[in-house]
Homo-oligomer: A and B are copies of this chain.
Amino acid sequence: MRAMVITRFGGPDVFERRDTERPTAGPGEVLVRVVASGTNPVDAKIRQAGAWANIPFPAVLGYDVSGVIEALGPGVTGFDVGDAVFYTPEIFGNPNGSYAEYTVASAAIVARKPDNLSHIEAAGIPLAGGTAWEAIVRRLAVRPGETVLIHGGAGGVGSFAIQFAKAAGARVIATASTANHAALQELGADVAVDYRDPDAAERITRETAGRGVDAAFDTAGGNVPLSTQVTRPFGRIATILAPTGDLSALYTKNQTLFGTFLTREGARLREMAPLFERGQAKVIVDSILPLEEVAKAHERLDSGHGRGKVILRVGE
């Protein structure tokens, strides 16, 4: 099968097109023909220096799939050959990512693709959308009428977080560079704040009439101290990176901090699907490239300036 593999860590030029053996579905697994593969910042981190992920070389990276089930391994129930599915492959120790014509996964982490989404769109959801869902819906448990602060609202996770918080009935304050404020508003943010504004904390506090936001979500890293300042007593904060800096206000204000790191499960994808089916959330696609141009996608990831998902078209 066609695959873009790496045999060492480095720049976007480390990808090589190879014809590799098609993987086979073991017990409890499904073999999926990849139609589209999403790309995420974590892909670039692993490509650069991913020894921590314990992936044996040659490695196929890629952690977002939309495709069609080609074969069922022993003991798989609930899926049929030909089902359109989407999911995010495991990272740790997994050399069979989504930058290839076929990939295998435990059936437990796979879900049916919403019918109204193309494979290109669906491939943009599982990793970033799942992370945002875990934080906004499961951990922060955002409720109607609350005000939620989302740091890095124009990024992959932040874009979904804004939409999920709005769907939950919250008012959303989102941060991004001023150049991305129109994008924040398109996603549904009620207030856009430039994270480089030295008065950002004051601005956010003023937007809540001094009360503080009910919940904050740091998708960018380094914003937990600011979040403790602008979140109300007994408020909640979620982060997808290690919290650093002065966290004193976390205890003086009786706040709760949720560390969030995506675990793989089909159930979460099934929870999220209705929002996409009803049009309450959508995928922002930045560009579509053929699988063989994965290096270009990684140049875009390395720049940190993506505004939406870069999707690889792998099959039809």
Question: A residues near B, CB below 8 A?
Answer: 139, 233, 239-244, 246-261, 263
Integer count of this chain's copies in the complex:
2
The CA-CA distance from A248 to B233 in the complex, in Å, is 24
Residue of chain B at shortest CB distance from A228? B259
Instruction: Flag if B247 contacts A242 (CB, 8 Å).
Output: yes
A261's partner among B239, B252, B256 (CB-CB below 8 A) is B252
Instruction: Flag if A248 contacts B242 (CB, 8 Å).
Output: yes
Q: Which residues on B sit within 8 Å (CB–CB) of A256?
A: 139, 256-259
Residue of chain B at shortest CB distance from A247? B243
Instruction: Flag if A251 contacts B260 (CB, 8 Å).
Output: yes
A245 to chain B, nearest CB (A): 10
Instruction: Flag if B251 contacts A239 (CB, 8 Å).
Output: yes
Residue of chain B at shortest CB distance from A236? B256
The CA-CA distance from A13 to B253 in the complex, in Å, is 33
Beyond A258-B256, A259-B257, is A251–B242 a contact (Cβ under 8 Å)?
yes
* A–B pairs, 26, beta carbons within 8 Å: A139-B256, A233-B263, A240-B251, A242-B246, A242-B247, A242-B248, A242-B250, A242-B251, A243-B243, A243-B247, A243-B250, A244-B247, A247-B259, A249-B259, A251-B259, A251-B261, A252-B259, A252-B261, A253-B259, A254-B258, A254-B260, A254-B263, A255-B259, A256-B258, A257-B257, A257-B259
The CA-CA distance from A244 to B244 in the complex, in Å, is 9
Q: Which residues on B sit within 8 Å (CB–CB) of A251?
A: 239-243, 259-261
A239, A261, A263: most-surrounded residue (chain B CB, <10 A): A261
